[in-house]
Structure 1
Amino acid sequence: MRNKKKITIKDIAEALGITPSAVSKALNDHPRISKQTKIAVKEVAKKLNYQPNNLASALRKGKSNLVGVMIPRTNSNFFSLAVEKIVERLSKEGYNVIIAQSNESFERECKNIESLLLIQVDGIIASMANETTSLEHYEKIKSKGVPLIMFDRWEDELDVDYVGIDDYKSSFLVVEHLKQQNCRRIAHIGGYKHTRIYKKRVKGFKDALKKYELPIDETLISESSLLIEDGRRIMSQLLELPDPPDAVYAAGDFAALGALQVLEEQGVQVPEDMALVGFSNETFTSLVKPSISTINQRSELIGTLAAETFLKRVDDSKWDPKLNKTMIDSELIIRNSSLKTK
């Protein structure tokens, strides 16, 4: 089936016997065009189903009113809530948001950023993919003068605005809680340590173990993509150790869920035999049995603040050469999976 021809200003002009310039002025309510002509032009435009190219018009004015939002995954409660607040805040200021998903792929992240720059977005709000080790594509955004605001995942070398939680402190809170539950041998299912947030989480984990004089056993510390299958695989390996842990702290709730599945399948009582804590406060953590203790990253606040940071960057009256590094206190939500003592 052939596509219908796109109606242009020239088609309206030919139908009325006037110039395309006059049509354009009529559609934009120019004061030098008569009321009668404006009415006629708008009637023909409606009859022909004319759709104005708002993007082209905006670009001619040097502004697209589009903001790109790059996230690693859409199936995460954290990212979906953060994006919801970004869209909510920016839409109030007349911006449309284009959401791109890297699916934790460096290659896809690069392609998505190229596409966003191609359509000349007014800014990009992003959270890095797990696979990302090179920052060239982000440096390209900066070199073009496009505002770049990072949230949740970022790297210090980028030297851009950032909004997120204190990952180091969050891990510290988890270990303190497990120590209070009389756990003595704590394992950590971590993310890839080339990523800043997971590097901070494992450092907070180790420093807390040192403070409370608990053993740091490298065989109990792992790196992964923090997917359900990673949690299952690593939990199975931990249970096969001669001296298994009595608690597991996963740096992501999906990995914690996978770990919980294996513990249930192997008849390990949670939290009596093995305490478990996750990270991110995904919706399912409060629904499974036992419910999973986790870190609340306050995603809605992060989304709102990321949007506010972008708005400050594009507002000349509020422009500040200093970069904004906004660190939000997280919250440890204690549930049944780690509550050993009453």
Structure 2
Amino acid sequence: MKRHQITIIDIAKELNLSKSTVSRALTGHKSVKPETRQAVLELAEKLDYQRNMLAISLITKKTNTIGIIVPEFNSSYFPTAIIGAQEVASKAGYSTVICQSDESYETEVANTKVMLANQVDGILVSITKETRNYDHLKIFQRKGIPIVFFNRVCDEMDVPKVIVDDYDGSFRAVSYLIESGRKRIAHLAGPSSLKISEKRLNGYKAALRKHNIPQDEELMITYDLNIDKVKIYVNHLLNLDNPPDAIFAVNDPTAIETIQVIRKRGLRVPEDIAVVGFSNDFVSGLIDPPLTTVSQPVREIGRTAAQLLIDQINREVSDWKSIIRVLKTELVIRKSS
């Protein structure tokens, strides 16, 4: 026997409510009293009610879905940011569609097509290291679909952004190394296409200037974040006639790999060479020695970005284009320095 499919009418009859009230309760509309919404949701769950999202979207012109596009899952950064974003989205009644571009521009373009096909109400984006053309993202602007960048942002587009003070975090990390007695501090920087790489490099240079330490071009290496290349660059630095006594890395995966290479050379961290990273990745406190790093409020970055996006969708922000949220970092000192 075919089982009767539960509808909004069934729930409305059971609770003696109108169909419109039940519909608004199921979609998280603010006009519904919290106790009414709770009763509707509890009965819907009990009866195993499945919402017809296609029908709802046709009526409301919304899917109550937001998209999230990130460049990688190799570290804990983006999964943690996504968790923060989902906390806010879920509370506001939104589901999420998540795509990972694997640091590929072409994949990122394909991801945006997935988001458009799913008719998301808005998207959160952190771009790849290869992204230099933003036409695929500007489509959302033309269609009136809100977009918020976080971490890796696009200055070419006048949309909200959520970042940390990369310059200040880098400046304080390098200043700490100098004040700890280190004088030849190398920097493994990220690709120049990313603003975070540029700001962290500038913070590094500013700390050297403040402490009257000359910049040495041979101690500054820009690389494409391919972790397999860290061994080549670190060995190059160690083979210099005057090798560094500290290495500041653009991110924690780079710093962690740096420590492994140094130790394989028979050198000690931090006695021979100090190492500092950036991000406070989950594993940074578990390696030997634990990594000194610049901690970012990653979960809060995700929360902030999601709230800005939802506020746009609900038109609760008047001048949203000029919004840039800059969150603070914190230097976490461990045994690698």
Report the CA distance shift for 1:163/1:318 in structure 2 as closer, same or farther (over 3 A). Answer: same
Distance 2:151 2:318 in 1: 23
Structure 1 distance, partners of 2:205, 2:11, is 70
Where does residue 274 of structure 1 map in the other structure? 273
Task: Encode CA deviations 1:206-242: one digit per residue, 9 max, x unaligned.
Answer: 1211111112111111122334323222111111111
Q: Counterparts of 1:249 and 1:298 in 2: how far apart (Å)? A: 20
1:81 Cα shift? 1.1
- With normalisation by structure 1, the TM-score equals 0.83
Q: Distance in 2 between matches of 1:281 and 1:331?
A: 9
CA distance in 1 between counterparts of 2:216 and 2:227 reads 23
Give 1:300 shift: 1.1
Displacement of 1:31 in angstroms is 11
Query: What is aligned with 1:38?
Result: none
Match of 1:27 in 2: 7
Distance in structure 1 (CA, Å) of the matches to 2:283 and 2:150: 23
Q: Provide the rounded CA distance (Å) in 2 between the counterparts of 1:59 and 1:134.
A: 33
- Which moved further from structure 2: 216-225 or 312-321? 312-321
> How many residue pairs end up in the alignment?
305
1:145 counterpart residue number = 144
Aligned equivalents of 1:56, 1:234: Cα separation in 2 = 56
User: Secondary structure at the residue paired with 2:188?
Assistant: strand
- For 2:292, give the aligned amino acid: S
Superposed CA RMSD in Å reads 2.5
Aligned to 2:74, the other structure's residue is in SS state: coil
Aligned residue number for residue 264 of structure 1: 263
Q: One-letter code of the match for 1:154?
A: V
Counterpart contact for 1:73–1:103, Cα < 8 Å: yes
Aligned-residue offset at 1:333: 0.6
Structure-2 change in CA distance of 1:137 and 1:257 (3 Å): same
Residues 105-132 of structure 1, C-alpha deviation per residue, up to 9 Å, x if partnerless?
Answer: 1110110011101211000011111111
Q: Which moved more, 1:130-139 or 1:184-193?
A: 130-139
Structure 2 letter corresponding to 1:99: I
Structure 1: gaps (5+ residues): 1-11, 17-22, 36-48
* 1:200 counterpart = 2:199: yes
Distance 1:50 1:284, change over 3 A: closer
Question: Which of these two proteins has the greater Rg computed from alpha carbons?
Answer: 1
Q: Secondary structure at the match of 2:156?
A: helix
Partner of 1:3: none
Q: Tell me whether 1:187 sits opposite 2:205 in the alignment.
A: no
Structure 1 residues 197 and 31: alpha-carbon distance in aligned structure 2, compared to 1, 3 A threshold: closer
In structure 2, do the counterparts of structure 1 residues 123 and 31 end up closer, same or farther at CA, with 3 Å as the change threshold? closer
Deviations 1:42-88 (A, max 9, x none): xxxxxxx9966423432442001110011111232111111101101
- Aligned residues: percent identity? 37
Secondary structure of the corresponding residue to residue 67 of structure 1: strand
Q: In the alignment, is residue 315 of structure 1 matched against residue 314 of structure 2?
A: yes
2:119 maps to 1:120: yes
Residues 191 and 317 of structure 1: CA distance in aligned 2, closer, same or farther (over 3 Å): closer
**Which shifted more, 163-172 or 319-328?**
319-328
TM-score of the two chains, using structure 2 as the length reference: 0.84
**Matches of 1:327 and 1:57, distance apart in 2:** 36
Q: What whole-Å deviation, never above 9, does each CA across 1:247-291 have from its counterpart, x for those lacking one?
A: 100001111111111110111111111010011111111111111
Structure 1 SS opposite 2:69:
strand
Offset at residue 133 of structure 1 (A): 1.2
Equivalent in the alignment of 2:61: 62
Shift of 1:27: 2.8
Match of 2:83 in 1: 84
Task: Give the drift of 1:194.
Answer: 1.6
Residue of structure 2 in register with 1:110 after alignment? 109
Task: Output the amino acid matched with 2:218.
Answer: T
Superposed CA offset, 1:161-205 (max 9, x none): 011101111110111111011111111101101211111111111
Task: Report the Cα offset of residue 140 of structure 1.
Answer: 1.4
Measured in 1, the distance between the counterparts of 2:329 and 2:51 equals 46
Q: Which runs of 5+ in 2 are unaligned?
A: 17-47
Partner Cα distance (2:137, 2:331) in 1:
32
CA distance in 2, matches of 1:308, 1:95: 11
Residues 31, 73 of structure 1: CA spacing in aligned structure 2 closer, same or farther, 3 A cutoff? closer
